[in-house]
Structure 1
Amino acid sequence: MREAPPRRGLSRLSVGQCTIGVGGGVMMTHAAYDCDVLVIGGGIVGLSTAYALQRSAPGTRVTVLEKEDGPARHQTGRNSGVIHSGIYYRPGSLKARYALRGSAELADFCAEHAIAHATTGKLIVATERSELPRLHGLVQRGREHGLPVRELGPAQIAEYEPEVRGLAAIRVGTTGVCDFTAVAGRFAAEVTAAGGIVRYGAEVTSVDRRPWGVAVRTADDTVVRARVLVNCAGLHSDRVARLAGDDPGVRIVPFRGEYFALTRPELVRGLVYPVPDPAFPFLGVHLTRGFDGSVHVGPNAVPALAREGYTWPRVRPAELLSTLSWPGTWQIARRHWRYGAGEVHRSLSRSAFTRAVQRLLPDVTEDDLRPSPAGVRAQAVLKDGTLVDDFLIREAPHTVHVLNAPSPAATACLPIGREVARLALRRAQGTGWKPPAVESGHCV
């Protein structure tokens, strides 16, 4: 892995035989940049973007900065590992387009690189009559998407999942599971093999946008200069946007997803989901048999008291104040307090959580549930309390901000990466840059 050498000071830069000013609109030379595109964030979206940049424009100099000591340490590595089919998403939405395309591409990518994965199919189960109209709506939506959807009665449910009970269900054959951490790691390896740089332990502390591009400083006082900045910082994406001088228009409000591992994994053969509530972007407590044979139950979704608040005691006062000072947070609380109270109750009460699971899996007991690592969802919220339900990508001079990348972002990482890369390359080419017209390190 190559690392950019430390550079200090932002007003003047000397590289080889080229000494140039970087203020006052003076044009930078190719060699004066440390890279062409700088990506902040080493999760699956940031790394897929870097991977796409090098595949779509070979020779592009790409650097990824990740504050942790390895890839996929947050949302990517702390989820249920499901390759989503796209059945939940509104036709024409970015979610639907990317998931439908991305699920097949991801399975192919995993097969090509020997990454653990399986296409298992899943059941979406109605346990109450009030859920039947929503279940039928999912059937119609699945057919609009061209997905293989089969309607099931109680006896047919038992054929797939003998221990699961429900009034009716649908089976979606294209859903699967995979090791998303391994996918992100493969992207990182491909980036470095193609000459890119992935720097771990590189937390961004400031962003200085100039007429020629951006200069980013990290906690160790290294400065990296780039033509274009891509913000894929996930839980901190709004903060990075503000560092760049942009108003993101949203605030990241963190929700912790709490999981349990099933100590009797033989109770579940595949993937079992409840009928989701359309008022929320969460899919409810579900059962997931992973690529390794373990079965996870969850998530329970509760407000987190820190952006990386994986437990109740984890509190960061400044981040909590940021959440509480956002008007949208109070709008969410006012509109959905009953739903939120139920989630908090299940978080604090093992018996309440068990009862929620028993709606799908009657034989499960409290003793069957062992706490498992939690995740935190980076939910973008507008000032009026609207939960942003689709991907949100905004552009500004020399920058592309990925401000909301909810599920199915991991499923759709390949098409999302290509789209973000396309926007970044368009920004770079708008300055007259043509990859890779000039060999790296030479002055023009």
Structure 2
Amino acid sequence: MATENRAAPLLAKALGIVLGTDEIPLRLRAWDGSEAGPPDAPVLEFRHRRALRRILWSPGQLGLSRAYVAGDIDAPGDIFAAFTALSSAGKFSEPGPFRPLTPRELGTLLRTAVRLGAVGPNPAPPPEEARITRKGRLHTRQRDAAAISHHYDVGNDFYALVLGSSMVYSCAVWSEASAAGTEGLPAGLDAAQRAKLDLVCRKLGLQPGMRVLDVGCGWGSFALHAAQNYGVTVVGVTLSSEQAVLARKRAAEAGLTENVDIRVQDYRDIDDGPFDAISSIGMSEHVGREQTPHYVDTLHSLLRPGGRLLNHAISWNARPTKPDPDSFIPRYVFPDGEMLGLGEMVTALEGGGFEILDVEALRQHYTLTLRAWVRRLETNWDEAVALTSLGRARIWRLYMASSALGFESGLTGVNQILVQRAGGAQPPLRRTDWI
């Protein structure tokens, strides 16, 4: 057992073994009140021995994530500063999954855990961990519906706290003025989301009377914006029943019931095309690499000749793209989600018969969007916890803050790819129609 008020130095040694580094750029605070590490560094607080036990059983990102979600670890100050420091340490700074511990490292970690009194049975994962089976065929209709429900059916009121009145759950488009200073980000969020929705409408060349498909329509924000401002009719499809309920309510309140049709439907089951334009905003990440050609073929078949598709999706930037099933995001946030590289998506769209009209990278815009969401969550923390659970709120704080840093560093990107099906009117000579 560790000497009283002396746990932190041993804890630093244990964490260093897991991360593969001799120096951790954090101030570690242990459950006994002791501290170790640079005095001016961001604080990472280990509130319970159970945190180290979780890491001992799952020595990598999963163990650390479980400990954070369960409240055994906390970042009590600036979470961005703490995660920035942690991401620069050892294995976190390396691409790809965590390197497994060597037998020697594992033995040293175990002996250190014994001294800290942290050895014991594997603690049960937090109840918010996805219960979707890790075996079997990916991206069946039933499995995709379960994965979407895990992420999106956690309460519309909770999402409203985080997203603001726009209820848009994808990257906003910020002006220089609205992005000035992180303190102003939440205030400028709604305007930045409206700017994004309008940009998509202009890129799609929407005109009154057009029929538009919104794949993965969320809470209906794009459908409402397009119908209200461009005089189109929109079919929006989602696999989330909670999203559909609110989207229909918003359409009714806006007097757009005749113009906006919200369905709980898999995109693979849509059989009432063709459409003049299709938007897919933050949806193709759920499709999976193997299903992407079928996704492209399906949307191509649903478009009229000359119709445009806008695919807005997160991507890996020149990094390994195979998902690590034992990392935080698949376990807690997006089960079965899979990001493709920009080149992969462009190749798939061209292979499906589309002509590329435009590609726009919005990486920096997503950093600003995520920071605004984190600020809103932290400002409304007590209410967010009451609407869901403490674990769920902690998941979203961890997921959004770490994602912001991923976009900030260039590890991940987000791109709008505008394509057109052959036939019909020629596209404009330049982008002047939508810039």
Structure with higher RCO (Cα < 8 A, 6+ apart): 1
TM interval, shorter chain, is under 0.3
TM-score of the superposed pair, with normalisation by structure 2? 0.24
The structure in which a higher percent of residues are strand is 1
TM-score normalized by structure 1?
Answer: 0.24
